[in-house]
Chains A and B, each alone.
Chain A
Amino acid sequence: MAESHDIAVHAEHDHKPHGWRRWVFATNHKDIGTMYLIAAGTMFLIGGLAAMAIRAQLFKSGMKLFDPAMFNSLTTMHGLIMIFGAIMPSWVGLANWMIPMQIGAPDMALPRLNNLSFWILPFAFTLMIASFFVPGGAVAGGWTMYPPLMQQFGDSFPMLIFAIHLMGISSILGAINIVVTIMNLRAPGMSLLRMPLFVWTWLITAYLLIAVMPVLAGAVTMQLTDHFFGTSFFNAAGGGDPVLFLHVFWFFGHPEVYILILPAFGVISEIIPTFSRKPLFGYEAMVYATASIAFLSFIVWGHHMFTVGMPVAAQMFFMLSTMLIAVPTGVKVFNWTATMWRGSLSFEPPMLFAIAFLFLFSIGGFSGLMLALVPSDYQYHGTYFVVAHFHYVLVPGAVFAIFGAVYYWLPKWCGRMYDMRLAKWHFWLSVIFVNVLFFPQHFLGLAGMPRRIPDYAPQFTDWNMVSSIGGFIFGASQVLFPYIVWKCVRSGKPVEANSPWDGAHGLEWELPSPAPYHSWTTPPSAAVLAHGAEH
């Protein structure tokens, strides 16, 4: 493969700044991607520690490790850190690494903007975490920040809002960069309907981000002016409406949950064909399903508010639109299943995580469907059943997809192979204990345990103990992941071939390993493109 060879030679001429300048002034998509992933990993660790504290407090009835106010701060910050600090930046980091390589571009279209959107984040995260240490402690109103409760917190309240503003700006800039890159820097011949699904799902996610992050920013800013400048947007005593906030928040919030999961759909659509040694079943259907999920995600927000007292017609509408989302979601799951059907499957770590995703994300989808039925939701809402639902879609859903993505592409990034045996340990510990952790929460919710409580009646102790033990082991197992990655980067066995996976297709695998600093300095030729997109 002559082209690849040329690139390999070229790679040796990479000029990159050395020392701290390389990172602070970074404009290279790989460096920025790496920084995103490290930042996200750090936040995952902090959010995870908060989760361990929560599970310790909930180990049994009458446990008193934390004051209830502190406990509420922990759950609030856990949610915010995981969503805005861990999962979203992970996806942006992966987008940075992979999109230029997958579409045949040298880098992202707007490298300086890229630098800015990353470097906003450490400030935002610092502000958010520092709010733990101001008088009154961190905000404790839940990640949903409903007023008037939200108005009762001290200095941490404006700090959190500014942190959200910053994270929002960062996300919007990152999303603009991704859209511009995908629209303008595709290699000749890479038409939209030849793009890999990770690129497709990210394109759609980027539009979702641009559409809803300003909505969130607006909603929290209105809370800010209510608090400091005497407005009454959400203050009933001043003629305002607390429910308005819920509507605006969930108009952001439901698309947001798809921002967290659509890139995961993309990753799974890359991994399953590779290890099934078969092209993705129903490529176009996958693209259209993603687009229709994104569209529907704008008209289902009311399903988070069935108990606030909306008119029956509105509840009916939100029930039906929510149930409709299950159709394209089902199409995706069926397509993945059909991709494995009559394939030639092997079970390397990325595939293991993808398979776990298939099963466990589906369980989250089933509970979602149950939650969509309004009368049932009257019983489920605000309980551990909901906690189980969204953790099934977010942990073995989004987080497992992130693990799968890193195990899939890491050999390409650093030209070395990780320790497969350890990675399989990481997988088995994760997949077993994520279920021990979250499955019993369905029972707890159904039996009547509300969410966001620091203490509960004794009859809930048994399943909470199971859940906490699952949580501690799941949490501890995650330490393997940074170790595996670190060990791979330092001393993994070099990968000679362009691709360590015999079933892999796509432009990223046409580049030498490790991938050159500037991905495709010359656009891939038609022959390379054809080879990359083979089948």
Chain B
Amino acid sequence: MKRARLGKLLGTLALALAGGALPAWGKSGWDELNMPRGVTNVSTRIYALHMMAFWVCVGIAAVVFGVMIWSLVFHRKSRGAVPDISLTHSTKVEIVWTIVPVLILVSMAIPAARLLVRINNNTDSQLSIRVTGFQWGWRYQYVGSNVSVISKLSESSTDASMMHSGISPTSVPHYLLSVDHPIVVPVGEKIRLLITSIDVIHSWWVPDLGVKRDAIPGFINQASFTIAPDKTGTYRGQCTELCGRGHAYMPIVVHAVSPAAFQAWLKQQSALDKEAAAGAPATAVTRS
């Protein structure tokens, strides 16, 4: 049977490829298969919605492909199948296969709509950060303080990404996913982002936070997230709207720390910024 042969071929091919790329095994590139569950309530709910939609699709595929494969196997001319030419329409089945999909779709749309409303509720935040995209990096301003962070691709990644660098990306920690100045946010608090851009459209995305919003010149978009209190750590993301030659080179790195550690960081940062402003105005301009 052709399908079996196809399966075998694919299997062999996968094996051959795995053999060819053996050193990559263990780096766990192969099990990068699915959306991360993430660390916010929203991101976990998006993950659940995604998996629900996936299994619904698998279910529909099993039925529809099953019928197709049945025909391919049993209704073939070489098996002496005689066509049933009277089978040209049936109002009954046609109604069924219109109504049933509608019901399935409604059952998917309801949780999606609920979550959509939830995600777009940006009220009651405890901290606001202004995020400004530029070619190519991000600037973060902590509203209500003088702290401002300019975040660009880390030096080691920048060096390695140069045309004739000769530096292997695996020797660089978090190649293309690390920045010089990560932003720091507290866990357990609702954080609202006010996202804009000064030049072209960018998009701020951190998969683990379940946030993706476009940074558009002339607009201020909102997005918010609350990291689960036990999920301190580092979360990485990238720009997801083509913004020119540096599009692949403006990652996002978020350090999630305890609220106390965050306050300490903010204070220290604010003092640093004041010092810089007093001591060297020129660098202050470029930094903030």
Bound together: yes
Binding site for B on A (CB under 8 A): 61-62, 64, 67-69, 72, 140-142, 146-149, 152, 236-237, 240-243, 276-285, 307-309, 312, 315-316, 319-320, 323-324, 326-327, 330-331, 333-334, 337-338, 340-347, 355, 358-359, 362-363, 366-367, 369-370, 373-376, 378-379, 381-383, 431-432, 435-436, 443-444, 446-448, 450-463, 465-466, 469, 535
Q: Which residue of B lies closest to A289 (CB)?
A: B98
- Cross-interface CB contact of A312 among B83, B87, B116, B199, cutoff 8 Å: B116
Check B53–A369 contact: CB distance below 8 A.
yes
Would A312 and B248 count as touching, CB distance under 8 A?
Answer: no
CB neighbours of B77 from chain A (8 A): 277, 344-346
A428–chain B nearest beta-carbon distance, Å: 8
A140 and B245 alpha carbons, distance in the complex (Å): 8
CA distance A466 to B17 in the complex (A): 7
The smallest C-beta distance from B7 to any residue of chain A, in angstroms, reads: 10
Add 7 more A-B contacts to A308-B214, A345-B71 (CB < 8 A).
Answer: A281-B87, A327-B105, A367-B57, A375-B42, A446-B33, A462-B24, A465-B17
- Chain A residues within 8 Å of B237, by CB: 448
The residue in chain B whose Cβ has the minimal distance to the Cβ of A329 is B101
| Contacts A327-B101, A453-B247, A457-B175; A369 near B35 (Cβ below 8 A) | no
Pick the 3 closest A-B CB pairs, nearest first: A236-B218, A382-B240, A462-B29
Q: Which residues of B contact A (CB under 8 A)?
A: 6, 9-10, 13-14, 17, 20-21, 24, 27-30, 32-36, 42, 45-46, 49-50, 53-54, 57, 60-61, 64-65, 67-68, 71-72, 75-78, 81-85, 87-89, 93-94, 97-98, 101-102, 105, 108-109, 112-113, 115-117, 119-120, 160-161, 163-165, 167-170, 174-177, 199-201, 203, 205, 207, 210-214, 216-219, 221-222, 237-249
Residue of B nearest to A448 (CB): B207
Pair B242/A343 contact, Cβ less than 8 Å: no
- Let me know if B101 and A378 touch, CB within 8 A: no
* Contact A316 B212, beta carbon cutoff 8 Å: no
Chain B residues with CB under 8 Å of A381's CB are: 203, 212, 240
Given A237-B218, A341-B87, A375-B45, the answer on whether A320 and B35 have CB atoms closer than 8 Å is: no
A370 to B57, Cβ gap below 8 A?
yes
Residues of B within 8 A of A277 (CB): 77, 83, 85
- Known: A285-B89, A340-B68, A448-B238. Is A307-B244 also a contact (CB below 8 A)? no
Once A343-B75, A378-B212 are accepted as A-B contacts, the answer to whether A320 and B109 lie under 8 Å apart by CB is yes
Q: Are B242 and A346 neighbours in the complex by a CB distance under 8 Å?
A: no
Given contacts A381-B240, A382-B240, contact A72 B247 (CB under 8 A): yes
Please determine whether B81 and A345 come into contact, CB atoms closer than 8 angstroms. yes
Assembly CA distance A443 to B216 (angstroms): 28
Contacts of A460 in B (CB 8 A): 29, 32
- Give me 22 A-to-B residue pairs in the complex whose CB atoms sit less than 8 angstroms apart, sorted by A's number: A68-B246, A149-B201, A243-B219, A276-B75, A284-B89, A285-B94, A307-B240, A312-B116, A315-B120, A316-B116, A319-B109, A323-B109, A342-B83, A342-B87, A345-B76, A346-B76, A370-B54, A378-B212, A450-B239, A452-B242, A461-B29, A462-B24
Q: Beyond A152-B200, A460-B32, is A370–B50 a contact (Cβ under 8 Å)? A: yes
Inter-chain contact A379/B210, CB cutoff 8 Å: yes
Contact, CB under 8 Å: A278 / B83: yes
In the complex, A458→B33 CA distance in Å? 15
User: Are B218 and A457 closer than 8 Å at their CB atoms?
Assistant: no
CB distance from A518 to the nearest CB of B (A): 34
- Please indicate the chain A residues that have their CB under 8 angstroms from the CB of B249 in the complex: 68
Residues of B within 8 A of A319 (CB): 109, 112-113, 116
Q: Is the CB of B49 within 8 A of A375?
A: yes
Given contacts A152-B200, A315-B116, A370-B53, contact A327 B102 (CB under 8 A): yes
Residue of chain B at shortest CB distance from A455? B248
Most buried by B among A319, A373, A431: A373
Contact indicator B87/A309 (Cβ below 8 Å): no
Q: Please report the C-alpha to C-alpha distance between residue A324 and residue B105 in the assembled complex, in whole angstroms.
A: 8
**B168 contacts across to A, CB distance below 8 A:** 62
**Pairwise interchain contact A362-B109, C-beta atoms closer than 8 A:** no
Whether B218 pairs with A241 at a CB distance below 8 angstroms is yes
**A375 and B119 within 8 A (CB):** yes
Task: Kindly list chain A residues whose C-beta atoms are within 8 Å of the C-beta of B14.
Answer: 466
Q: Given A237-B217, A341-B87, A376–B24 Cβ distance below 8 Å?
A: no
**Measured CA separation A342–B200 after assembly (Å):** 57
A359 to B62, CA, bound (A): 11
Distance, CA A132 to CA B238, complexed state (A): 28
Name the CB-closest residue of A to B237: A448
Q: Which of B36, B46, B61, B164 has the largest number of chain A CB atoms within 10 A?
A: B46
Inter-chain contact B112/A67, CB cutoff 8 Å: no
User: Which residues of B have CB within 8 Å of A241?
Assistant: 218
A436 lies within 8 A of B219 (CB): no
Q: List B contacts of A462 (CB < 8 A).
A: 21, 24, 27, 29-30, 32
One of A330, A344, A346 near B82 (C-beta < 8 A): A344
Assuming the contacts A283-B89, A382-B240, asked whether A334 and B64 have C-beta atoms less than 8 A apart, the reply is yes
Residue of B nearest to A141 (CB): B242
Q: How far is the CB of A404 from chain B (nearest CB, A)?
A: 16
Tell me if B33 and A323 are in contact (CB < 8 A): no
Docked Cα-Cα span, A340 to B29, in Å, equals 41
Residues of B within 8 A of A458 (CB): 27, 29, 169-170, 175
Among A67, A341, A455, contact of B67 (Cβ-Cβ < 8 Å): A341
Q: Known interface pairs A283-B88, A344-B77. Does A366 touch B60 (Cβ–Cβ under 8 Å)?
A: yes
Contact of B71 among A326, A341, A366 (CB under 8 A): A341
Write out the residue numbers on chain A whose beta carbons fall within 8 Å of the beta carbon of B212. 307, 378-379, 381-382
By a CB distance below 8 angstroms, the chain B residues around A367 are: 57
Smallest CB gap from A144: residue in B: B242
With A62-B168, A369-B53 already in contact, the answer to whether A452 and B218 are too (CB < 8 A) is no
Q: Which of B29, B85, B201 has a CB less than 8 Å from the CB of A278? A: B85
B163 CB to nearest A CB, Å: 5
CA distance A240 to B219 in the complex (A): 11
Task: Name the contact of B160 in the complex, choosing from A62, A242, A454 (C-beta under 8 A).
Answer: A62
Q: Min CB distance, B136 to chain A, in Å?
A: 10
Name the CB-closest residue of B to A466: B17
A379–B216 Cα distance when bound, in Å, is 18
Residues in B neighbouring A316, C-beta threshold 8 A? 113, 116
A450 lies within 8 A of B85 (CB): no
CA distance A201 to B93 in the complex (A): 23
When A340-B72, A459-B29, A535-B85 are in contact, do A376 and B94 touch as well, CB less than 8 Å?
no
> Shortest Cβ distance from A177 into chain B, in angstroms?
32
Q: Which residue of B lies closest to A469 (CB)?
A: B17
Cα distance A458–B132 in the bound complex, in angstroms: 27
Report chain B residues within 8 Å CB of A243. 216, 219
- Which residues of A lie under 8 Å from residue B115 when comparing CB positions? 375
